[in-house]
Amino acid sequence: MIYISIRARAFLIAAGVTLAALAPTPSQAATKIQHLTSPGGIEAWFVQDATVPLIAMEYAFAGGGAQDPADKPGVANLVADLLDEGSGDLDSNTFHERLDRRAIELSFSATRDHFRGSLRMLRDNKDEAFDLLRMSLTSAHFDPADVERIRSQVISGLHRDTTNPSALAGRKFLEVAYGDHPYGRQVSGTLKSVPTIEISDMKDYVRRVLAKDTLKIAVVGDVDPATLGKLLDQTFGGLPAKANLVPVPDIVAAKPPQRAFVPLDVPQTVITFGGPGVPRHDPNFMAAYVVNHIVGGGGLSSRLYHEVREKRGLAYSVYEALLWMDHSALFIGNTGTRADRAGETMDAVDKEIRRIAEDGPTQQELDEAKSYLKGSQMLALDTSSKLASGLLQYQLDKLPIDYIEKRNAIVDAVTLDDTRKAAKRLWSQGLLTVIVGRAPQAAAQPAAAPPPTAN
């Protein structure tokens, strides 16, 4: 998934605090997950939970930014920003007033592979909430005034990204990793592409992508199965039966080692590094997941944190994550350091990466990583919003409905030999590295002082 958004994480959907209902722990939730099919044939994974009178729904359609025209990246992102800007007989202001009056949280987002939506509401407002979602999906206005207002906001964000070293590093990393493949393009679009996107492009995207055959739904909350089935039919039943998606080819990220430099006159240099990952359904995925936690995913306990921050004081933070998508997989990491210490920081990262590729982790590291990963799963699903997001992701990853029950046993089954093989596979070739900051010869010099201003 690219769920650190580039899914490190172009990729996380924030849960609304005000609508975060307490959900069952994973062991409890697993026995309550229902595979619900509505009278009209709409399927959903469903956990009925009356702890508090709230309902959380997460859903997704296949497609995402990978379905944007090659010369117009950003279409899916604009659609996501505009679906709630007026629909049916409601203009944008009236639509948002209805949401606010009933404390309904409705949002859309586009990742590389999916067009996603989120809906949260009080139980007593469910009919209005689902009806507003239905209107958004089936009769969005795309009024020219709203389109230009949202377009200008997107363009302003893209302008800000031109001076944001983290954004520049993420963009360049994807270009290096994927070239002209759809994954190499930016879901948010570019300063060149976004002004060229027409209303007809967005309507065509909706027509091709928002269809029932690729729809995945997860619902957690205070609603009975029969009522939910009727709501799902009323909301999604009017969508086209089949999507018309452009095929996206599988791709392996570019082979390391490679290094790219993006000049930017900022005091702190940003370094993004990574390489080809392990697909979600690869037999060695869980071993790779565990060993990656040891290297860079474990926060204060990770090897990279110890080597880069604690031992050398080179950076405030450093992380690494596995990202998986429908047609590829990556590992990706990031850190920031003083401009004149960027080379030393990258050398420290590279050295640690090569060390674990050669020797693998220790048994103690493996045991501690397993313990953490099993315990953290409880926290990852401790609200209705988190549980709905998790259940949706399991569906997108094509995992079984009882995966929550099985996950800890899968983690426990990882052996030291498995992690050594996974480490060698991930890191033995080195890194794709993107450095954004001052040129090496300027790194030791202070930034130029601004010209004096007239009094």
CA angle, 111 as apex, 109 and 115 as ends, to 5°?
55
- Asked, for residue 186, whether it belongs to a domain, the answer is yes
**Mean pLDDT lowest among 26-40, 88-102, 199-213, 267-281:** 26-40
- Asked, for residue 286, whether it belongs to a domain, the answer is yes
Q: What pLDDT is stored for residue 439 in this prediction? A: 79
Q: How many domains are contained in the chain?
A: 2
Residues 384 and 424 grouped into a single domain = yes
Q: Helix or strand or coil: residue 370?
A: helix
Residues 117 and 232 grouped into a single domain = yes
Distance between CA 417 and CA 431 in Å, rounded?
23
Q: Which of 236, 268, 298 is the last residue of a domain?
A: 236
List alpha helices for 276-331, DSSP H: 285-292, 303-304
pLDDT confidence bin for 440, thresholds 50/70/90:
low
Higher local confidence (pLDDT), 338 or 445: 338
Distance between CA 67 and CA 73 in Å, rounded?
9
Residues 218 and 272 grouped into a single domain = no
184 closest CA partner among 114, 116, 254: 254
Residues 201 and 304 grouped into a single domain = no
- Asked, for residue 3, whether it belongs to a domain, the answer is no
pLDDT confidence bin for 27, thresholds 50/70/90:
very low
Q: What pLDDT is stored for residue 297 in this prediction? A: 85
Residue count of the chain, please give it: 455
45: domain CATH number is 3.30.830.10
Residues 287 and 159 grouped into a single domain = no
pLDDT at 166 over 70: yes
Residues 223 and 267 grouped into a single domain = no
Q: What is the pLDDT of residues 352-369, one digit of tens each?
A: 999 999 999 999 999 999
Q: What pLDDT is stored for residue 311 in this prediction? A: 84
First to last CA, the chain: 54
Distance between CA 60 and CA 113 in Å, rounded?
10
The answer to whether the peptide bond before residue 257 is cis (omega within 30 degrees of 0) is: yes
Residues 301 and 430 grouped into a single domain = yes
Residues 39 and 186 grouped into a single domain = yes
pLDDT at 15 over 90: no
Most confident of 23-32, 56-65, 445-454: 56-65
Range 331-358 burial, b when 16+ CB lie within 10 A, else e: bbbbbbbbbbbbeebbebbbebbeebbe
Residues 59 and 205 grouped into a single domain = yes
Residues 140 and 43 grouped into a single domain = yes
Domain assignment of residue 195, given as a range: 17-236
pLDDT at 454 over 50: no
- Asked, for residue 247, whether it belongs to a domain, the answer is no
Proportion of the chain above pLDDT 90, given as a percent: 81
Q: What is the pLDDT of residues 240-299, one digit of tens each?
A: 999 999 999 999 999 999 999 999 999 899 999 999 999 999 999 999 999 999 999 877
**Mean pLDDT lowest among 72-76, 160-164, 257-261, 315-319:** 315-319
Annotate 51-102 with three-state secondary structure: CCCEEEEEEEEECHHHHCCCCCCCHHHHHHHHCCCCECCECHHHHHHHHHHC
- Asked, for residue 175, whether it belongs to a domain, the answer is yes
pLDDT at 16 over 80: no
pLDDT at 444 over 50: no
Q: What pLDDT is stored for residue 299 in this prediction? A: 73
Residues 278 and 388 grouped into a single domain = yes
Q: What pLDDT is stored for residue 46 in this prediction? A: 97
Residues 179 and 33 grouped into a single domain = yes
Q: What is the pLDDT of residues 366-391, one digit of tens each?
A: 999 999 999 887 777 878 999 999 99
Q: What pLDDT is stored for residue 383 in this prediction? A: 87
Q: What pLDDT is stored for residue 377 in this prediction? A: 78
Q: To which H or E segment does residue 261 belong? A: strand 258-263
**Global pTM value:** 0.88
- Asked, for residue 365, whether it belongs to a domain, the answer is yes
Annotate 120-172 with three-state secondary structure: EEEHHHHHHHHHHHHHHHHHECCCHHHHHHHHHHHHHHHHHHCCCHHHHHHHH
pLDDT confidence bin for 316, thresholds 50/70/90:
confident
- Asked, for residue 452, whether it belongs to a domain, the answer is no
- Asked, for residue 453, whether it belongs to a domain, the answer is no
Q: What pLDDT is stored for residue 441 in this prediction? A: 52
Q: Which of 179, 205, 236 is the last residue of a domain?
A: 236
Q: What pLDDT is stored for residue 32 in this prediction? A: 87
pLDDT at 31 over 50: no
